[in-house]
A and B are shown apart, each in its own frame.
Chain A
């Protein structure tokens, strides 16, 4: 059964009475694994509740499509600075990504290394836990340390704890212009050396990725005209020792990062999508474990997206590396098992939020 609540009260009533398994779903565009039991679809809980461009804050109901949010922001020349990755193309999904889904999956894109993750921009939530209790936490102001930060606990919790009904978040202005320096690089070791080097400069790089299929590392800078042109020139010198440098100006640069935001380099590859987060200098070791499968590196080398044969479990090859891996479609979300102490705390928190075990868990380890 699919339920489509149209108000927070509906959600509370439904979850208060629910039995069996319930999978909370936004637009279903970035599903981690096959839904079990009933589906609680948030798609009809929509609408922007409040938007204050001068305060850089917006409040919206969880089912509001990401596209609507971004369009409204763009009219005020603002955006979601964490650049949420859009997974429709790479996962072959038609559903419209929702703002609640973006935060529930902590879906951050390339600018995450400079601006922060989705979880860093989420200021407040209203939600309904597995007992049907309505809970609010955080608020709509940028600085708030009043009580525990359940906002961050709920960000990226993938529907394991509660159904988000309303989210409040920080937005930022769209840069006046941007540029991308593109450097020919042939292997991930050289790419990571380049990427970590540019992140150790004062030039406020907002994206740094490597696409092995094209053999290029990309370095993005954004801001006002004179500033971007100054930093382009400085970075060109920093990058010269690594290979030939091309500069893509404003529109070409934007198009390039839009494509990466949709994981363009991996669209059409057959297999299962994996997402691995490690420290940048461990990136090349992850690539080695892929055995030639298609991949793309982001976050200075610390984020690896790869498409692997469906029967291949990457985690076994990465036992010596700290970090985590998520497999889309099969529901694994860990590189290593939690320590017993951490596992007990996570289980304890799940029990508190979801005493009747309605929601799925994702902590299966290798």
Chain B
């Protein structure tokens, strides 16, 4: 993965930078010992690593603003970090940058059930937002699979989704307001407990901007009342086409499940060996979850099973209680771990129109043979968000590169059939150089123009999202 050559000029300023930061921040906020900065050398895309010059972990929005002002003065790039769970390299530093982490800012600032909002500091983890309101029957809906660890700051930066966003939407649909600090150190409040934007919807473009427009330190989030209950059904089919048709028929019948998860045979087999969830050995498996009171769950499951029965399923298994539900979910939830037992894997995240599912799976199978690398597919079928897991051996020279080449071909295929490169993980460095396959240069310039406005010197997370040659003149402007 190509990254810009570190600027010697910036590296030479390290001691001045650290001195100035220490002068205004509490002692434990600034880390510059190379032994300690190493802990921040990568995120969950761990194939790529590079320790930063320093790490700053502030306690307050004002400290974030002061830090950014100093870095702006000294022309030092800043890489924002939530919990470091990005699968796209969104929080990977360069050697001439600093990491600015919000993990110490994790308080709940206000909970307001009448208006159904919670205001939190963004270092708070996704799951602990729900934790703060669940005793009163509420929850925060977006549920990325890293939700135990991932921070709201990162969720906002990447516009994270999750298994249940088919019904509840992604981060952007549940974010009402932010306090954001610009690279110049200005603190801005945008949105709030009221709905929709006056004038231009800045919140809409901030969410999903991968930490390139500002550092969000506080967020106003929509909370909703929990449903009375939820139960899944498991369906097995002999072909991907039939499973895809079944999903389409269920959606058209007006049933809106909270989640529709899909696994293909390689994934089912790996999962069975690992978790022994009792899945049938079939070509395609669906797990469909519905919510509501017992009567409502019954009504929806009946409809789903009736539709599924018309597609010759090899297995139809409905959960009758929470234990059976947990058993159905067991395999799906262990899928990544199961694949990881077989070999190293790379997890992709393209989205395709649901109707293109059978074709895309067939092509992935063909490509798997061409590249000589195994691949298992597990994904959110209701919205076409695929997660192909490509198996490779990281210790074998050249395998990572081969795996990346295979991954790139899959993502290009997603774009070719009318989909996109990333559905919920973000571009980061991982998909940066594929952006030209989805966008024209004019499309990319329109996006980069927004960064020019927020961060004219291109100091915030600069070498991400856009192909390096597309952003080169802008990034060099700040040198």
Contact = CB atoms under 8 A, between A and B. Distances in A.
Interface stretch (B3-11, B146-154, B189-197): B189-197
Interface in A314-351: 322-326, 333-335, 338-339, 341-342, 345-346, 348-350
Interface stretch (B54-62, B66-74, B288-296, B337-345): B288-296
A277 B251 CA distance: 33
A363 B199 contact: yes
Contacts of B194: 277-279, 282, 302, 322-324
B447 A143 contact: no
Contact of B193 (A150, A176, A322): A322
B254 A175 contact: yes
Given A173-B254, A341-B186, A345-B454, A352 B447 contact: no
B441 to A, nearest CB: 10
Interface in B148-205: 158-159, 161, 165-166, 169-170, 172-173, 182, 186-190, 192-205
Given A55-B384, A148-B209, A230-B295, A141 B199 contact: no
19 contacts: A57-B353, A141-B353, A144-B423, A145-B208, A145-B424, A145-B425, A145-B427, A146-B431, A151-B204, A152-B172, A199-B225, A200-B113, A200-B138, A200-B225, A202-B227, A230-B296, A303-B195, A349-B450, A350-B200
A112 interface: yes
Contacts of A160: 200
Contacts of A346: 199-200, 202
A352 to B, nearest CB: 4
Interface of B: 112-117, 137-138, 158-159, 161, 165-166, 169-170, 172-173, 182, 186-190, 192-205, 207-209, 225-228, 247-249, 251-254, 256, 292-293, 295-296, 298-300, 303, 351-355, 380, 383-385, 418-427, 431, 435, 438-440, 442-444, 446-447, 449-454, 465
Contact of A277 (B196, B208, B252, B440): B196
B115 A281 contact: yes
Contacts of B450: 148, 150, 153, 349, 352
Given A152-B201, A279-B193, A133 B446 contact: yes
A101 B198 CA distance: 17
A155 interface: yes
A140 interface: yes
A280 interface: yes
Given A141-B352, A146-B422, A226 B228 contact: no
Contacts of B249: 54
Contact of A52 (B295, B296, B353, B440): B353
Nearest to B426: A145
Contact of A352 (B420, B443, B452): B452
**Pairs of residues from A and B, 3 with the lowest C-beta to C-beta distance, nearest first:** A152-B204, A324-B198, A54-B248
A299 interface: yes
Given A148-B208, A161-B200, 13 more contacts: A54-B248, A55-B248, A76-B252, A106-B196, A133-B446, A139-B438, A142-B166, A147-B435, A150-B446, A174-B254, A227-B299, A230-B295, A334-B199
Contact of A143 (B165, B209, B247, B449): B165
B167 to A, nearest CB: 10
Given A55-B355, A161-B200, A176 B227 contact: no
Nearest to B440: A136
Nearest to A59: B418
Contact of B295 (A135, A161, A227, A326): A227
B380 A153 contact: no
Nearest to A176: B254
A192 to B, nearest CB: 8
A149 interface: yes
A113 B176 CA distance: 12
A135 B443 contact: yes
A330 to B, nearest CB: 15
Contacts of B383: 141-143
B115 A196 contact: yes
A157 B200 contact: yes
A195 to B, nearest CB: 9
A148 B355 CA distance: 26
A55 B354 CA distance: 6
A153 B425 contact: no
Which of A160, A173, A303 counts the most B-chain CB atoms under 10 A from its CB?
A173
A279 B110 CA distance: 14
B169 A362 contact: no
Interface stretch (A37-45, A115-123, A240-248, A262-270): A115-123
Contact of B228 (A174, A202, A223, A341): A202
Contacts of A338: 199
A312 interface: no
Contact of B195 (A143, A302, A334, A352): A302
Interface string A150-188: 111101110011000000000011111000000000000
B189 A54 contact: no
Contact of A341 (B169, B182, B385): B182
Contacts of B419: 139, 141
Nearest to A151: B204
A171 to B, nearest CB: 11
A134 B442 CA distance: 7
Interface in A222-274: 223-227, 230-231
Nearest to B113: A200
B438 A149 contact: no
Nearest to A234: B293
